[in-house]
Amino acid sequence: MLIRKLIRKLIRKLAGAGRLDHGVSWPGPWGALALAAVPAAFLVIFFIWPVATLVARGFTGPSGLDLSGFAEVMGKARTWRLIGRTVGQAALATAVCAVAAVPLAALIWRRAFRGRWALRALLTAPFALPSVVVGLAFKALLGANGPLGFLGLDQSATAVVAALVFFNVGLMARVVGTFWAALDPRLEQAARVLGANPWRALVTVTLPALAPAIVAGASLVFLFSATAFGLVLILGGAAYGTVETEIYLQTAQLLNLRAAAVLSVVQMVIVAGALWFGAAARRGRERALKQIGFASGGQANRASSPAPRPSWRADWPFMLVTGLVVVFIALPVGNLAYLSVRDGSGLGLRHWAALGNPSLAGQPYSLLAAAGRSVLIALLAGAIALVGGVAVAVVLGRGGQGRLGRWARGAFDAALMAPLGVSAVSVGFGFLITLNRAPLNLRTSFWLIPLAQALVALPLVVRTVLPPLAAVEPRLRQAAAVLGARPWRVFLTVDGPVLRRAGAVAAAYAFAVSVGEFGATAFLVRPDTTTLPVAIYKLLSRPGAENLGAAMAAAVLLGAITIAAMAAAEAAHTRRRTGPFEGAA
């Protein structure tokens, strides 16, 4: 008893002195510095340097500082049309996602029924699908020969916005739903007791409480919509291009690197605004959770009040919206799968057999070979992102030592999230103009593509691993250390299980993001490193029913690979009981 009291007193003294678990568990101060050094160097070499060089192209000339290129590009009416179209399409898609997300979250995250996990998986699947697959699915649905071809929406802004909504509505619903599930139900119950009907309680109590999550989710949707590349390239064409597709056009076709650099700067400004709103919303979310008592008993209240079953009388609007969204998601994907087994003579596997044909459309490789290459590159990219992301999460999860330490960790975290705010096209473009000479001449290296894809996946790994690791109670580490465990043993026994579960989720998501990456990869591939998304786009650019049919079969194969990875992540997430987007929200 005396020893137990001494241990408790020691822990209270350590906590009261303002110390965290610094020095108690691995890695310690120098170990943390070493862990942070490798990801920081990776970020500097493969992100900051290429992007800074790209930005400098827009503001410098042969004789030094020269803003004439910036003035020339911004003085064109076409540039402002592209900016307006980019912001307008992204804003419209964000608004539609926000309207649909609330009913989806109300039914799927606040009600208990059989098959709820299947609906969650269905909503998650579109966000995981490669943009090339989604673009081809909508093109097959809305094209002249598609089931909805009579609407005349092919190559239109409506098709682009619809695809953006398809891609992001599940993300928005998940962000709102996970936050809504954390709200104490007694808030709404109190409004009902005071005489408010269910809809009045929803509008006056619940929606204001959900505002931080809605704004946070909307900022993410706007960011992904404003930087969409493959969708716009396939569905919109030149007539409905955005800043992102214009960067690709100026670089790959017109070789106007200066104009592309200026447009990249413009896009960074647009995305920075979305990130600023998202950060403000996240701070609002944290304040809201404190105000509703989330950290002091809210969990117990929710655990003692199981989620009710849906009621047709009360929940029919939510059910109606959910049904429409399910049809909206299933129709393009189902139609694409059907067309992949249909040819001129009926149903068959002719298009699938063509995946092994190396001479299809004159390519020196088969689509199966491209699929295998995509999987290999994604595994390498995922491994790089996982190692770097876990190292960063271990450092950031320790909290700050004083104001300077907290500021340094916050700045490091923001720098690591920056790749989410810069388009993959800009990253690929930056690779081209920096990593083509000594001391890092990687232009012809196989590793160039895995490194680019790892850069895109790294922020997702950090945001998946960091929340559960930061939630580990520091006193558990302190208690283990007081009881005689060495620092590395403390880390393995206290943090290790959390890292294994969160790492499994992060690895699956990193692989899914990498295997379908198209924006940066389109700049960097060569015939011997062509990935499946790039091969699909090349097939779409060539005429012929055989090319189109093979592209559809390849898109279904790519989607199946991605969904399998996402299913693994969802299974790990269920065991972990933590949403993969909670940190990002």
Measured CA to CA in angstroms, residue 38 lies from 42, 379, 419, 442, 542 at distances of 6, 20, 17, 19, 43
- Give the C-alpha separation, 40 to 48, whole Å: 10
Read off the pTM. 0.75
Mean pLDDT of 46-74: 78
What is the predicted pLDDT for the residue at 410? 66
CATH superfamily of 28-49+349-585: MetI-like (1.10.3720.10)
Longest dimension (CA), the chain: 85
Residue with more model confidence, 189 or 209 = 209
Return the number of other C-beta atoms located less than 10 Å from residue 295's C-beta.
10
- Give the C-alpha separation, 174 to 192, whole Å: 26
Contact call for residues 176 and 102 (beta carbons, < 8 A):
yes
Residue with more model confidence, 225 or 19 = 225
- Give the C-alpha separation, 302 to 189, whole Å: 13
**Cα-Cα-Cα-Cα dihedral sign, residues 403, 406, 409, 415:** negative
The 8-class DSSP code of residue 202 comes to I
Structure tokens at 215: 């704004």
Strands (E), 342-464: 342-343, 346-347, 436-437, 440-441
Q: Write down how long the chain is.
A: 585
Contact call for residues 170 and 245 (beta carbons, < 8 A):
no
Q: Binning pLDDT at 50, 70 and 90, where does residue 351 land? A: confident
Residue with more model confidence, 450 or 342 = 450
Angle between helices 532-540 and 131-142 (to 10 degrees): 30
Q: Binning pLDDT at 50, 70 and 90, where does residue 7 land? A: very low
Out of 120-124, 331-335, 427-431, pick the least confident: 120-124
What average pLDDT does the structure give for the chain? Answer: 76
Residue 147 has pLDDT above 70, yes or no: yes
What is the predicted pLDDT for the residue at 304? 44
What is the predicted pLDDT for the residue at 121? 74
Residue 416 has pLDDT above 80, yes or no: no
What is the predicted pLDDT for the residue at 11? 38
Residue 59 has pLDDT above 90, yes or no: no
Q: Binning pLDDT at 50, 70 and 90, where does residue 280 land? A: low
> What share of the chain has pLDDT > 70, as a percent?
72
Domain limits, CATH 1.10.3720.10, in the chain: 28-49+349-585, 76-296+303-309+317-340
Q: Specify the CATH number of the domain 76-296+303-309+317-340.
A: 1.10.3720.10
Please tell me which of 257-261, 273-277, 478-482 the model is most confident about, judged by mean pLDDT.
257-261
Q: Binning pLDDT at 50, 70 and 90, where does residue 6 land? A: very low
Residue with more model confidence, 160 or 312 = 160
- Give the C-alpha separation, 328 to 226, whole Å: 22
Structure tokens at 469: 């690791």
Residue 294 has pLDDT above 60, yes or no: no
Return the number of other C-beta atoms located less than 10 Å from residue 439's C-beta.
4
